[in-house]
Amino acid sequence: MHAQSPADGAPPSADRGRILLVLPFDNQTGQPSLEWIREAAANLLGSRFASAGFAPMTRADRMYALDHLGLPQSFQPSRASALKLAQTLDADSIVVGSFSTDGTQIVAEAQVVDVPRLRMSQPVQARGEMRAMIAVFDSLAWKVTRQLDPSFSVAEETFIAAGKNLRLDAYEQYIRGITEPDHDERLRHLEQSVKLSPDFGPAWMALGREDYQGQQYDQAAQAFARVDRDGPDGLQAGFYRGLSLLFSGDYPHAEQAFAQVARILPLAEVLNNQGVAVSRQGHDGTALFVQAASADPNTADYHFNLAVSLKRHGKTDAALNELAQCLKLRPNDSEAQSLLAAWKTPAVVTASTGADPAAAPDPLERIVRTFDAVAFRQASQMLDQMNATRLAALSPGDRAQKLSAQAKDYLDRGLLLEAERLYQSAIAADGQAAEAHAGLALVRERAGDAAGARKEAHAALELSPSADAYLVLCRLDMAENHWSEAKDDAGNALRLDPSSQAAQELLRQIEERTGQGK
């Protein structure tokens, strides 16, 4: 059960040693009201580890392993049982930790257990005000990452900036919403979370699941639609949105939802359900059912659906073959048995109606109601490995250019940690990559590291003229009231990119501030 991790240009073997099990932290505060932080710590660290290119186990993975071992979900493992959990999940390392309070401050500590070597690292610690709890755990995640990979070069400020827009109260409601045993309580907390933080995708994903399980399909579809399509939950959200729309009877939008997922990951269950959505609109979904049965030939339902679609479109012999394959895989399928008998019986047409009175009603194709998360992650890993292999085959300059383009996509979506990691990979591939230094300057600026941003902007300009680098310097100079330098920076950016609205707006602000405007 390996979690998805973004490709970074490393060879396919790079995931070895990077599969992590992050356990809930021990609550040493003595305050039951802070129990939610146990799961919050594991969730926050796991999120940052994924962004850093590791493969942390999800909470669902951990719950599966506990169930597999016959242990309750609230079980607090000892070191020995933690190792058993890690071995069950094929993890390379376990991250364990605790938190306590010191006045108004929270103190968090973590250690890494090397599973194959049964070796525990030295503890690392982070502390800060309770109201800045997310930043404290982000800082701790950076320190643990550096232990796991001493060559890791992403700045601590970038880790902290990754969570700066997340409201603590919204995050607490989210954690309570995924850990409460009562369905209504989970709903209440999750609805409060998205109300407090309307752009918090994980809370929308969890809320969509609760609505879906409660058969509130219209609400579920709306919640899944709020999950970032390009984020880590995007494909699963798209799949379950498609299901919700199917069960709501909105077949055209269900077809679109499944098609969007299939364009990236054409798994059998996605193609099958897309075919169902097409069929329910009165169109021919046979081609999609063929693809589903080809992708997973050992699942009876895909052959059943293909048989029904073929028969509906007059291809009786091929339909009988597919139905026979369905029964070979699932001999006790009563519906398939009845269909086979009906289809093999010669049709009897009456003189008065022209119909066969013994004909069975046209069966409906079957919907796959669950998304195989393991297959999804394996397929995602395969895509990442293919991307890494293609990158490795490029020249250093081309590899740096490709990585910089991927990093910019992350940066445009506000994912600073992922962006910096790829910009750093681009610079490692080609130290002369000016666009990577310019991009890194933008990351540093947004993370609040003015000195680092200025350093990277100058590094970019030493390699090649760059409007983006000049704009970074312009904003930094404006923040320091260096108006003459800022005006020069904006002018240089406009000379390189005369259509730059950002440069024009900055120049307008400078002239207005210095009284030089018209």
Q: Considering the domain 12-164 in this protein, what is its CATH number?
A: 3.40.50.10610
Q: Three-state SS for 466? A: coil
> Contact at 8 Å (CB) between 155 and 182?
no
Least confident span in 113-122, 273-282, 351-360:
351-360
Q: How confident is the model at residue 124 (pLDDT cuts 50, 70, 90)?
A: very high
Least confident span in 13-22, 262-271, 400-409, 500-509:
13-22
CA–CA dist 421, 430 (Å, integer): 14
Least confident span in 24-38, 111-125, 202-216:
111-125
Mean pLDDT of 476-497: 95
% of residues, the chain, pLDDT over 70: 90
Q: How confident is the model at residue 516 (pLDDT cuts 50, 70, 90)?
A: low
Q: Identical fold at 12-164 and 375-514?
A: no
Q: For residue 486, is pLDDT > 60? A: yes
pLDDT at 60: 84
Q: How confident is the model at residue 75 (pLDDT cuts 50, 70, 90)?
A: low
Q: Pick 10 or 109 by higher pLDDT.
A: 109
Q: State both tokens at 455.
A: 């350093």
Q: How far is CA 7 from CA 54, 121, 391, 398, in A?
A: 10, 27, 10, 16
Least confident span in 177-186, 353-362, 415-424, 494-503:
353-362
Q: What dihedral angle (degrees, nearest 10) is formed by the CA atoms of 184, 189, 195, 199?
A: -110
CATH class of the domain defined by 375-514: mainly alpha
Q: State both tokens at 6.
A: 């973004």
Give tens-digit pLDDT for 336-366: 999 999 998 865 544 444 544 445 567 999 9
Domain boundaries, the chain: 12-164, 375-514
> Contact at 8 Å (CB) between 460 and 443?
no
Q: For residue 446, is pLDDT > 80? A: yes
Strand partners, 479: none
Q: What is the mean pLDDT of the chain?
A: 89
Q: For residue 377, is pLDDT > 80? A: no
Q: Three-state SS for 109? A: strand
Q: How confident is the model at residue 177 (pLDDT cuts 50, 70, 90)?
A: very high
Q: How far is CA 323 from CA 285, 329, 332, 339, 440, in A?
A: 17, 10, 13, 8, 57
Q: State both tokens at 292.
A: 């589903």
Dihedrals phi, psi of 304, to nearest 5 degrees: -60, -50
pLDDT at 359: 52
Reference 464, options 414, 397, 516; nearest CA is 397
Q: How far apart are the first and last CA of the chain?
A: 64
pLDDT at 18: 83
Q: Pick 352 or 310 by higher pLDDT.
A: 310
DSSP track, 153-169:
---HHHHHHHTTTS-HH
pLDDT at 385: 79
Least confident span in 136-140, 148-152, 231-235, 444-448:
231-235
Reference 272, options 253, 258, 251; nearest CA is 258
DSSP track, 278-337:
HHHTTS--HHHHHHHHHH-TT-HHHHHHHHHHHHHTT-HHHHHHHHHHHHHH-TT-HHHH
Give tens-digit pLDDT for 4-18: 334 444 333 334 458
Reference 114, options 76, 148, 80, 139; nearest CA is 148
Q: How far is CA 264 from CA 12, 238, 391, 477, in A?
A: 19, 11, 19, 43
pLDDT at 10: 39
Q: How far is CA 109 from CA 126, 137, 301, in A?
A: 7, 9, 50
Mean pLDDT of 370-384: 72
Q: For residue 510, is pLDDT > 80? A: yes
Q: Pick 208 or 370 by higher pLDDT.
A: 208
Give me Rg for the CA atoms of the chain. Answer: 28
Q: State both tokens at 180.
A: 């409460």
